[in-house]
Each structure stands twice: as structure tokens, then as C-alpha cells.
Amino acid sequence: MQRVLFTITSSYNGWQVRDELRNRDWFEHLEDAVASANTLAQTRYVLTGHSTGVLVDVGQGDTVMRVRHG
């Protein structure tokens, strides 16, 4: 099964956390967004057993995988 990804993108002078279905939360600081996305990813992995990850969009179409579970 393919890894379930949570994505963080720059949005309105802050950071938007998204999953594959919808926008989640907005944060002023990147590390707060990463912490929140990590919690979501870890919880999804524990509950479903499906691999998860957190991607951060660093601009110009490039992303960096910050967290992996499973």
C-alpha cells in the first residue's frame, strides 16, 4: 500500500497542513505545523497500520520528507 502523506505548504504568512482529502490546520510557525502533522501521521499509522509521512513544500515544486512512520 502507498504511504499516506500529510503535506505542509506556505500559506498567508504561515503554514497550512493538508492531508489527501482536505485542508487541516494553519500555523504561524513551520515547526508547529510539522509537530501537528507528525501527530496526525503517527496516529493514522497506529490506528490503520498504513505507512505515513509528512512532506514540506520548500518552494518551486520541491518537497522534503520530514517524518516517516512505518
Per-residue pLDDT of the chain (70 residues; tens, 9 = 90+): 799 999 999 998 999 999 988 999 999 999 999 999 999 999 999 999 999 999 999 988 899 999 999 9
Q: Residue 69 is placed in which grid cell? A: 512512520
Q: Which domain holds residue 15?
A: 4-69
pTM over 0.75: yes
Number of domains into which the chain is organized? 1
Cα 16 from Cα 56, distance rounded (Å): 10
